[in-house]
Amino acid sequence: MPRLVVVSNRVAIPDPTGKGSAGGLAVALREAFQAYQGLWFGWSGRVASQPSIEPKLVDKGNVHYALMDLTPIDRQEYYNGFANRALWPNMHYRLGLSEFSRADYAGYLRVNRSFANALSRMIRPDDLIWVHDYHLIPLAAELRALGVTNRIGYFHHIPWPAPEVFGTLPGSRELLRAIADYDLVGVQTDRDADNLRRAIVQEVGATQQGADVITLNGHQTRVKGFPIGIDVKGFQQVARRTPTHRVVKQTLASLGSRRLIIGVDRLDYSKGIPERMEAFERFLIANPDQRGHVTFLQIAPTSRSEVPEYASLSRTASETLGRINGTLGEPGWVPIHYVTSAYPRTVLASLYKIARVGLVTPMRDGMNLVAKEYVAAQNPEDPGVLILSKFAGAAQQLTDALIVNPNDKFEVAEAIRDALHMDREERIARWRRMMKTIQDYDVSWWAASFLKELTDYRGLSKARSRVPVRP
């Protein structure tokens, strides 16, 4: 059995107290590590005055963790700069927010090179290497330049935009050449896969062979959709528990006979939170009989607050909230409750279960696991209704949700009305079909499918002399 080497921007070490509520990538990779001995390599999250030359090693049984510190300038250029102020907005189609800096790009390449140098000394000949997300696109190219010939896979968790969008980013051609050094590239949807294949062919002269293989400089890369799933059984078990958390009890008490609409997102401009509030406002204006009978709870933990665009978004969300509550609120009823705290999945599962409507309307999203968690948490005898943006990857799978254009506040408002009035028989039928989908394509399927494809890979892979990627 080969060893699995996972590389990601951040490394999630298990909480020694056992109380941690790991989510996202940590939950997904836990499934993969059950079948392999593992090494998880990446940034420790710490900023130090001197960069790491060798990683700090932490042994946790079947998985070893290798942690690299970054310097303040590394963090600023690689993480806050190029990754989150250039790549992230570009890949979410927010070209007006994408800010390119040569210094940031140089820092992004420098950190990837540093990671590759440290990791290459730890790799065994039969290791499977699985790299995650947009922070580390050049990593395979750096490893190949150091003579690493192992099979290397990459999974891109966020959208991959159309070639004409990605092509607006300086350095995009170099990044496309670099991503072609992976043996297998996984994305969330077939649309993302098509966008990436077309970009590599059109921009850097690769040739396409068959449905999903491209060849560049004698190296074959397979680009496919692997929609990420959730731990459905685990989430269902959590949702079935009797709610004991203070937040859930207070929510139930404050609702009374009112129906709950819920949105859960990290505070990010890709999530469309102010636009969602305005759509709910439009619903209340168009349906005055619903005032006082429905409450919208938006949970939006703050993130990347040091990035100016996120501070501006926080102000916009607060101003929108204040205007709507001030204009439409009544004594004893506040239309929108807005919370910036992060809650463990035990709390979220209970809140999803009592919510008649799950409002998941990002402006653009790779997948959006909140949509799948909302479905998994529902009472089979009386499920709620999912309203889902057509620009979320999950919309490609959960076609029985009410699919909406998040840019159209009237359309979202009408979907809220339809969801609240939908009869139980239709709600159950829609829920059953969505539930089957998320069970068939859960997180175990995702990890096993990707790794089987990488293990079975028979492409033409070889190490090549490094062509410098210059900022």
Residues with catalytic annotation? 157, 365
- Quick check: helix, strand or coil at residue 13? coil
Give the DSSP H/E element, type plus range, for residue 165: helix 163-166
Q: Are 373 and 348 in contact (CB under 8 A)?
A: yes
User: Measuring CA to CA, which residue among 53, 54, 107 is closest to residue 79?
Assistant: 107
Q: Considering Cα of 154, then 155, then 157, then 163, what sign does the dihedral take?
A: positive
Instruction: Please tell me the distance from the alpha carbon of residue 79 to that of residue 183, in angstroms, as a whole number.
Output: 25
Write down the H helix ranges in 34-81.
Answer: 72-74
Instruction: Please tell me the distance from the alpha carbon of residue 83 to that of residue 25, in angstroms, as a whole number.
Output: 18
C-alpha of 353 from chain center: 22
Long-range CB contacts (< 8 A, 24+ apart) of 26-34? 27/230, 27/231, 27/443, 28/228, 28/443, 28/446, 28/447, 29/447, 31/231, 31/443, 31/444, 31/446, 31/447, 31/448, 32/4, 32/6, 32/130, 32/447, 32/448, 32/451, 33/4, 33/6, 33/62, 33/63
Instruction: For residue 365, list its beta bridge partners.
Output: 392
Q: Are 107 and 72 in contact (CB under 8 A)?
A: no
User: Regarding beta strands 259-264 and 357-360, do their DSSP bridges make them parallel or antiparallel, or are they unpaired?
Assistant: parallel
Give the DSSP H/E element, type plus range, for residue 44: strand 38-47
CA dihedral 103, 107, 108, 111 (to 10 degrees): 170
Instruction: Please tell me the distance from the alpha carbon of residue 417 to that of residue 357, in angstroms, as a whole number.
Output: 10
Instruction: Please tell me the distance from the alpha carbon of residue 281 to that of residue 259, in angstroms, as a whole number.
Output: 16
Angle at 111 between CA 107 and CA 115, to 5 degrees: 170
Instruction: Please tell me the distance from the alpha carbon of residue 426 to that of residue 436, in angstroms, as a whole number.
Output: 16
